[in-house]
Amino acid sequence: MQDYHDFLAEVLIDEPTLQARITELAQQIDRDYEGKKVLLVCILRGALPILVDLMRHLTVPTAIDCMAISSYGVGARESTGQVRMTLDLQTNISELDVILVEDIVDSGRTIGQVMDLLKTRKPKSLKVCTLLDKASRREVQIPIDYRGFLIENKFVFGYGLDIDEYYRNLPFIGVVDLNKYKPGL
């Protein structure tokens, strides 16, 4: 397995900056949901780190659930346009205040389809929180209520974002130098 230092072009967002912004997002959510309770929905798998760090800073009563959606083909670097649900929620979200939590919104297809599906289940409210927003790539216009960082169209990894399923564990967001990354090594 290649060491990430071999193909790291730059650290785009370092750990202290990530954590400080996530703390701010939690404070914003706390203010907006004062007197209410909230259900955070983690869109597996990339949103795991932000969900965990976000929830630890929230003071409003918080429940969590997970769903899994696949939008990229195995090994693919770009959205294929194919979105399928591979794991559904356990929670009945009818009459609940729900926040969908994502690591990144790119074309917007994934979160758009998730929203379309979940709206049919009549939540009291449905909002979107994403750590990263590649707005320049958007094909499906969706409202983003809580955005960590607006980023350029670079191939990023770490803090939930994978390269061929690995490196999600890194505590920062890095940019891949595709000339140096060797798949399979």
User: Which residue has tokens 């659930």?
Assistant: 65
Nearest to 159 by CA among 149, 150, 170, 148: 170
Query: At residue 115, what are phi and psi to the nearest 5 degrees?
Result: -65, -45
Do strands 8-13 and 173-176 pair parallel, antiparallel, or not at all (unpaired)?
antiparallel
The verdict on whether 145 is a catalytic residue reads no
102 binds ligand PRP (CB under 6 A): yes
Q: Which of residues 24-83 bind ligand PRP (CB under 6 A)?
A: 43-46, 70-72, 79
Least Å distance between CB 5 and ligand PRP? 22
Q: Is 100 in contact with 115 (CB distance < 8 Å)?
A: yes
**Nearer Cβ to ligand PRP, position 59 or 80?**
80
Q: Which stretch binds ligand PRP (CB under 6 A): 7-15, 31-39, 85-93, 104-112?
A: 104-112
Least Å distance between CB 131 and ligand PRP? 10
DSSP assignment of 32-101: HTTTS-EEEEEEETTTHHHHHHHHHH--S-EEEEEEEEE-S-TT-SS--S--EEEE--SS--TT-EEEEE
Q: Which of residues 147-166 bind ligand PRP (CB under 6 A)?
A: 162
User: Which residue has tokens 């094909």?
Assistant: 139
Least Å distance between CB 63 and ligand PRP? 21
Considering CB under 6 A, how many residues would be counted as binding ligand PRP? 18
Nearest to 101 by CA among 61, 51, 62: 51
Do strands 97-105 and 38-44 pair parallel, antiparallel, or not at all (unpaired)?
parallel
**Nearer Cβ to ligand PRP, position 33 or 114?**
114
**Nearer Cβ to ligand PRP, position 33 or 40?**
40
**Nearer Cβ to ligand PRP, position 23 or 107?**
107
Indicate which residue of 53, 106, 145, 162 is catalytic.
106
Contacting residues toward ligand PRP, per CB under 6 A: 43-46, 70-72, 79, 102-110, 162
Catalytic residue list: 106
